[in-house]
Chain A
Amino acid sequence: MSIDLQTVKKIASLSRISVTDAEAEAMVPELNNILGWVEQLGEVDVTGIEPMTAVIPNHQRLREDAVTDGDVRDKVLANAPQAEHGFFAVPKVIE
Chain B
Amino acid sequence: MSNNLTDLTVAEIRDGFRGGDFSAREVAEAFNANVAGAKALNAFIVETPEKALEAADAADKAKAAGEALGALAGVPIGMKDLFCTEGVQTTAASHMLEGFTPTYESTVSGKLWAAGAGMLGKLNLDQFAMGSSNETSYYGNVISPWRRGGGDNAALAPGGSSGGSSSAIAARLCPAATGTDTGGSIRQPAAFTGISGIKPTYGRCSRWGIVAFASSLDQAGPMARTVRDNAILLETMSGFDPRDSTSLDLAVPQWEANLTSDLKGKKVGIPKEYRPDGLNAEIAALWDRGIEWLKDAGAEVVEVSLPHTKYALPTYYIIAPAEASSNLARYDGVRYGQRDLPDGAGLQDMYAATRALGFGPEVKRRIMIGTYVLSAGFYDAYYTQAQKVRALIARDFEQAFEKCDLLLTPTAPSASFALGEKQADPLAMYLNDVFTVPASLAGLPAMAVPGGLDSQGLPLGLQIIGKALDEQTVLNAGLAIEERAGFNARPDKWW
Contacts and interface: CB of A to CB of B under 8 A. Distances in A.
Interface string A55-86: 11010110100000000100110111110000
Interface stretch (B59-67, B220-228, B240-248): B240-248
- Give the dominant DSSP class at B's interface: helix
Contacts of B341: 91
Contact of A81 (B249, B338, B387): B338
B443 interface: yes
A81 B336 CA distance: 6
Interface string B285-320: 000000000000000000000001001001101100
Contact of B334 (A40, A75, A80): A80
Contact of A31 (B332, B350, B353, B365): B365
A79 B365 contact: no
B352 A93 contact: no
Contacts of B232: none
Contacts of A81: 333-334, 336-339
Given A56-B202, A80-B336, A81-B333, A35 B355 contact: no
A18 B425 CA distance: 23
Given A12-B368, A17-B352, A44-B308, A53 B242 contact: no
B356 A17 contact: yes
Contacts of A27: 365, 368
Given A16-B355, A19-B356, A40 B314 contact: yes
A16 B388 contact: no
B242 A61 contact: yes
Interface in A31-63: 31, 33-35, 37-42, 44, 46, 49-56, 58, 60-61, 63
Nearest to A74: B103
A79 B101 contact: yes
A49 B388 CA distance: 6
A21 interface: no
Nearest to A26: B361
B392 A44 contact: yes
Contacts of B352: 13, 16-18
Given A54-B246, A58-B246, A38 B367 contact: no
Contacts of B346: 91-93
A35 to B, nearest CB: 7
Contacts of B334: 80-81, 88, 90
Contact of A15 (B100, B248, B333, B367): B367
Given A49-B392, A51-B391, A88-B334, A30 B347 contact: no
B337 A41 contact: no
B248 A58 contact: yes
Nearest to A52: B391
A53 B382 contact: no
A3 interface: yes
Contacts of B468: 56
Nearest to A3: B372
A82 B315 CA distance: 40
B385 interface: yes
A31 B355 contact: no
Contacts of B441: 55
Nearest to B431: A37
Nearest to A81: B339
A5 interface: no
Contacts of A7: 372
A46 B341 CA distance: 47
A51 B216 CA distance: 13
B369 interface: yes
Nearest to B319: A52
A27 B441 CA distance: 27
A15 B346 CA distance: 17
B403 to A, nearest CB: 21
A50 B385 CA distance: 10
Contact of A41 (B314, B359, B394): B314
B375 A16 contact: no
A32 to B, nearest CB: 11
A51 B347 contact: no
Contacts of A92: 346
B408 to A, nearest CB: 22
B178 interface: no
Interface of B: 99-104, 201-203, 216, 242, 245-246, 248-249, 308, 311, 314-315, 317-318, 325, 329, 332-339, 341, 345-353, 355-356, 359, 364-365, 367-369, 371-373, 375, 381-382, 384-392, 394, 426-427, 441-443, 468
17 contacts: A15-B367, A16-B329, A17-B359, A33-B426, A33-B427, A34-B427, A35-B369, A38-B314, A50-B388, A75-B103, A78-B103, A79-B102, A80-B335, A88-B334, A90-B347, A92-B346, A93-B347
Given A41-B314, A56-B201, A80-B336, 4 more contacts: A19-B356, A38-B373, A61-B245, A80-B335
Interface of A: 3, 7-8, 11-19, 27, 30-31, 33-35, 37-42, 44, 46, 49-56, 58, 60-61, 63, 72, 75-76, 78-82, 88, 90-93
